């Protein structure tokens, strides 16, 4: 069966690999893509979505720019990881179709037009657009089938603060709204995504596959290696965080999940955005385990 999706994203190297996989998948139908400032600012993240669609010949898919800043605080700049253009300097074609504005209105209009409980929201960046959807268009938001989001660190250490992960730390207030919404949510934290790791051998497999989505994914992952320095265990591989969202939709059997309520740290310390189990909160499914090597193999197969 085909999963019909809206993707909210801030590309970003691993976001780009995730989107390429979704566009290549015969079981995912992308209805539209919305952007959030996230990694490198709204102009570049929006342009990068257009570049990805241009590569794949899918500029028929609407792109709408969304939040340029978090709901209530300053965002982050991680160009040192993703490169100044967000795509590690990989030379994607420039888009021929300009993006549109007002991502939240587009999400609402699409959800109201499509059958209720049919569209999945795939959230690859900070949750600002999704929180605004709940605030401004609550009836439309309730028509979502489920939300699959990458974010947080349940028991693992964080990647921005001791316990905080980038996507949730970039807009803790938005994460608090979404995770407390009561909608069916699958959250994929660093606990799981760090188990899905690409190696140089995986890049060689992607190059050998020869499809545009495989070759450009290989180049993106190679840029990830060049832009990040890791020593000790894990130095020979890099985690593929955001593709886990798409893999959860297409290969659910690879993941182990647990059901829990989550509180979001709304403070101003380095742990802002950190999540902790909270029994009084609405339950969400949290992916804590994944068959990492099998997930990478499925990803490569989909891109090939």
Residue by residue, pLDDT tens for the chain (304 residues) are: 899 999 999 998 999 999 999 999 999 999 999 999 976 889 999 999 999 999 999 999 999 999 999 999 887 655 555 456 778 889 999 999 999 999 999 999 999 999 999 999 999 999 999 999 999 999 999 999 999 999 999 999 999 999 999 999 999 999 999 999 999 999 999 999 999 999 999 999 999 999 999 999 999 999 988 866 665 555 789 999 999 999 999 999 999 999 999 999 999 999 999 999 999 999 999 999 999 999 999 999 999 9
Q: How many domains would you assign to the chain?
A: 1
64 is catalytic: no
State residue 76's pLDDT score: 67
Nearest by Cα to 168 from 286, 50, 23, 45: 286
Domain that holds residue 14: 3-303
- Quick one: how far is CA 41 from the chain centroid? 15
What residues pair up with 257 in beta bridges, in sequence order?
287
Give just the sign of the alpha carbon dihedral 224, 226, 227, 230. positive
- Quick one: how far is CA 61 from the chain centroid? 18
State residue 86's pLDDT score: 73
State residue 296's pLDDT score: 98
State residue 234's pLDDT score: 59
Q: How far apart are CA 256 and CA 259, in angstroms?
A: 11
State residue 241's pLDDT score: 97
CATH of the domain at 254: 3.90.245.10
Output the six-digit token pair for 53: 């669609």
Phi and psi angles of residue 4, each rounded to the nearest 5 degrees, phi first: -95, 130
State residue 235's pLDDT score: 72
State residue 291's pLDDT score: 98
C-alpha distances (whole Å) from 29 to each of 2, 7, 19, 120, 260 are 7, 10, 11, 10, 30
Identified catalytic residue from 64, 82, 137, 241: 241
Give me the count of residues in the chain. Answer: 304
State residue 7's pLDDT score: 98
State residue 195's pLDDT score: 97
Nearest by Cα to 292 from 209, 195, 225: 195
């Amino acid at each position: 069966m085909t999963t019909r999706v809206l993707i909210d994203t801030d590309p970003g190297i691993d976001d780009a690999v995730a989107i390429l996989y979704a566009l290549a998948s015969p079981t995912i139908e992308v209805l539209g893509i919305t952007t959030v400032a996230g990694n490198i600012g709204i102009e570049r993240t929006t342009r990068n979505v257009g570049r990805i669609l241009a590569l794949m010949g899918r500029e028929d898919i609407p792109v709408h720019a969304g939040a340029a800043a978090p709901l209530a605080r300053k965002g982050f700049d991680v160009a040192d990881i993703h490169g100044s253009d967000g795509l590690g300097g990989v030379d994607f074609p420039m888009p021929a179709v300009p993006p549109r504005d007002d991502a939240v209105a587009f999400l609402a209009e699409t959800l109201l037009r499509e059958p209720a409980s049919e569209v999945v929201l795939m959230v690859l960046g900070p949750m600002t657009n999704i929180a605004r959807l709940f605030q401004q268009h609550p009836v439309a938001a309730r028509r979502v089938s489920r939300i699959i989001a990458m974010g947080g660190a349940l028991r693992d250490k964080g990647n921005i603060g001791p316990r905080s992960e980038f996507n949730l730390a970039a807009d803790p207030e938005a994460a608090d709204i979404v995770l407390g919404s009561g909608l069916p949510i699958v959250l994929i934290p660093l606990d799981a995504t760090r188990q899905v790791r690409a190696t140089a051998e995986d890049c060689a497999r992607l190059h050998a596959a020869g499809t545009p989505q495989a070759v450009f994914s290989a180049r993106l992952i190679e840029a990830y290696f060049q832009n990040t320095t890791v020593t000790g265990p894990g130095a020979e591989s890099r985690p593929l965080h955001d593709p886990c969202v798409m893999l959860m939709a297409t290969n659910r059997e690879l993941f182990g999940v647990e059901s829990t309520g989550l509180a979001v740290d709304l403070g101003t310390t380095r742990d802002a955005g950190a999540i902790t189990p909270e029994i009084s909160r609405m339950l969400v499914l949290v992916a804590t385990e994944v068959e990492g090597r099998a997930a990478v193999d499925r990803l490569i197969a989909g891109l090939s």
